[in-house]
Structure 1
């Protein structure tokens, strides 16, 4: 130990500086060591969420005429935009091709799940994470074997191979080890089928299987498979929003695993039904799905604040519906009328089919909350449902009559019931977020995420 009493003042200053420099060097080394630890990755995908959906949500949450806009969790995160086109000459992607690009960094054809245009499997970010000892998870508000979650775990030539995708997710990589630690969403019917009931087998092999939402808060062990609906969960406008609570559970379980083994995790969170509402040209449904997604983002941002070595990336796989805020030449969009609608078109049209025509107006009035003209009511009552139509196809005729009426009253425009080729937002915060700044392709997002997993 260096004694100061034998040193001149100059030498004392020098000695203190030397000691402090050593402390600083140690702190710098510790900081550098911490910075070399790969961050947790939370990848949030608003399926169908083009820029216009964020605008619609922001306006819908704001008071018209107040002169200010309500804050949203998206506001401070925007870094750039991304193209979404598939590996063909159409420019318009489907969710499978885009999710494959986001998960693997490789373009493919519409319908492809985790494979390239030549149908060769491509390593996805969850497989890369697993190979490095990371923990993995995914959340979806549709079935967990749907296009987006499937592309992050499996490899199939068609997104329509729902049963085969479910089989891939349920098959262990080795005894007691699956592709995921947490998988939450819908899709019960694909895992419990006449030809194969995976659920008792999975439980016997050590997986926790839950089918009720109230089991989320009491679940403490992984791996866990949560299947809360036969297919998709109910739309947020028709039920309690679920994405935030599933996200909280996933983060709690993955953090507990991380504390045990000191390994990062990768979690994909999909706001799936923004897209479905866009396909239905259902603006009220879409805004409520955006609110559900924003609430999940609030959960994730709060987590990142407590765990700074966490990267959050938010984007969309494409936009849906060709949504415009303003329609028919009128310079207005009536957000308060949108928020007055209390049910999705999916639910309204399904329930109308179970009622006699003379009760349709009584049913719709309190759900639409719009001042329809007599001509508009007559137009709805006069809808012809094709006799040969089956299942949800019977609802299309009714929806095609109601959508233009809602659009006219709210001044909401739609150009398609499909996807569009417009650029989508890219948002990020946390270590490594600079890699997502600027104008990029969706494959660049996937490549940047894969690069961080080591």
Structure 2
């Protein structure tokens, strides 16, 4: 069955003259589309559009676009990872790839969230990745390596135990890092005043802060395989919990798994993650319309995958075929590994809603000749080729790229984000507001 997505209609956000010139500190909503280069926005817009009439769909991103930013880290590569990118966006300082809130010498860098909390602001983050992943961790913690997930979870928990949490709301995945055999923080942290929830659909029942919500063992399921509204639900809950706080708040929202789909070279997965972010942006816009003294800033930490719309010299990208794909590549691989090989071609044809040519079948069946330990990767590579060829989608890498990324802004101080910027300049403007 074809999955139907919804592109929210754009509604112009108006602000009163009083709100625009207010001397009160604005709320800050800081949004990061992880891995979201300009090409992902193009793909999402076309996927939402009417192919027959060439009516281009309005999406929430459009009215907010103000400029572009560089993403390079503090080394000689020009290509950042998410940790260095997030640290730049959280602290205004460049650092090495893999660094969580530390500089090149591994010394802690004060983050915007820590500065905000020191000055009486409420703070929070929502993410479709685990809450101790590179981006959210870089806003609230300091560690020399992004890959020490248990240690970063411990840093988050120890803030609460010490009575100085840098967050009021922290929502995403990552349950397995807090509920471990060696240390079960879920049994400890409620005694220190932290509300804990592991049920995304029960967020409405949470009415106290600080709160930690972890809704999956690691990252949340991909939007194409799970709940496309997950990020919007978490965003709505975070805003509801932060808004009554005295004074201003700063909230970071990350559409994390755009990047993960890019790493997987999975176009249908990526478009659905973009739809999940678009739905969260609708929640943000509606909040901002009610609270005009709110600055919304959005960017990406880098782009991922070298996505191209069009490949092999063909002047075509088939958005309808993208939208006919029903599952992520990773989900299909998991299912295929459980099936007899003679059922593979039929299964894939049903999932991509497209006839399997002999070439596609040969590509798929070549994985059957691989050893069990290599079969998973071989199936993944075959599905990248099949889905890419069907849809006219190209990829240049399974990693990140060094291209510029979009910058968006709306609300008080939004004029400061116009034109071409370094990613560190985005953070510096916001830090000046919270100081």
TM-score, normalised by the number of residues in structure 2:
0.93
- 1:218 maps onto 2:199 in alignment: no
- CA separation of 1:338 and 1:31: change in aligned 2, threshold 3 A: closer
Aligned residue number for residue 290 of structure 1: 274
- 1:240 maps onto 2:221 in alignment: no
In structure 1, runs of 5+ residues without a counterpart are 1-29
- CA separation of 1:175 and 1:119: change in aligned 2, threshold 3 A: closer
Other structure's SS at 1:140 match = strand
- 1:167 maps onto 2:150 in alignment: no
Partner deviation per Cα, 1:147-185 (whole Å, 9 max, x = no partner): 000000000000011111101111136754412110001
- CA separation of 1:408 and 1:117: change in aligned 2, threshold 3 A: same
- 1:133 maps onto 2:120 in alignment: yes
Aligned residue number for residue 292 of structure 2: 308
Give the counterpart of 1:325 among 291, 299, 309: 309
Contact 2:367 2:375 in 1 (8 A): no
- 1:435 maps onto 2:422 in alignment: no
Separation (CA, whole Å) in 1 of partners of 2:118 and 2:177:
27
Contact 1:40 1:265 in 2 (8 A): yes
Aligned residue number for residue 326 of structure 2: 342
Aligned residue number for residue 412 of structure 1: 393
Other structure's SS at 2:416 match = helix
Other structure's SS at 1:82 match = strand
Aligned residue number for residue 9 of structure 2: none
Aligned residue number for residue 335 of structure 2: 351
- 1:374 maps onto 2:355 in alignment: no
Partner deviation per Cα, 1:99-132 (whole Å, 9 max, x = no partner): 0000000000000000111111110011000100
Separation (CA, whole Å) in 2 of partners of 1:173 and 1:371:
55
Give the counterpart of 1:249 among 228, 234, 237: 237
Separation (CA, whole Å) in 2 of partners of 1:426 and 1:385:
46
Partner deviation per Cα, 1:271-327 (whole Å, 9 max, x = no partner): 000000000000000000000000000100110010001000010000000000011
Q: Please, which moves more after superposition, 401-410 or 222-231?
A: 401-410
Separation (CA, whole Å) in 1 of partners of 2:161 and 2:272:
41
Other structure's SS at 1:351 match = helix
C-alpha RMSD of the superposition: 1.6
Other structure's SS at 2:115 match = helix
Separation (CA, whole Å) in 1 of partners of 2:248 and 2:369:
53
Contact 1:43 1:269 in 2 (8 A): yes
- CA separation of 1:107 and 1:331: change in aligned 2, threshold 3 A: same
Give the counterpart of 1:52 among 14, 39, 49: 39
Separation (CA, whole Å) in 2 of partners of 1:44 and 1:31:
25
- 1:269 maps onto 2:269 in alignment: no
Contact 2:368 2:375 in 1 (8 A): no
Separation (CA, whole Å) in 2 of partners of 1:418 and 1:306:
40
Give the CA deviation at 1:68.
Answer: 2.1
- 1:202 maps onto 2:199 in alignment: no
- Runs of 4+ with deviation above 2 angstroms: 30-34, 172-177, 384-389
Contact 1:176 1:206 in 2 (8 A): no
Larger radius of gyration: 1
What are the equivalent positions in structure 2 for 1:20-59 lying under 5 Å apart? 35-59=22-46
TM-score, normalised by the number of residues in structure 1:
0.90
Contact 1:235 1:289 in 2 (8 A): yes
Separation (CA, whole Å) in 2 of partners of 1:448 and 1:289:
28
What are the equivalent positions in structure 2 for 1:75-94 lying under 5 Å apart? 75-94=62-81
Partner deviation per Cα, 1:336-365 (whole Å, 9 max, x = no partner): 000000000010001111111011122222
Aligned residue number for residue 383 of structure 2: 402
In structure 2, runs of 5+ residues without a counterpart are 1-16
Give the CA deviation at 1:388.
Answer: 7.0
Give the CA deviation at 1:371.
Answer: 2.1
- CA separation of 1:399 and 1:385: change in aligned 2, threshold 3 A: farther
Aligned residue number for residue 264 of structure 2: 280
Contact 2:47 2:323 in 1 (8 A): yes
Contact 1:385 1:398 in 2 (8 A): no
Q: Please, which moves more after superposition, 96-105 or 167-176?
A: 167-176
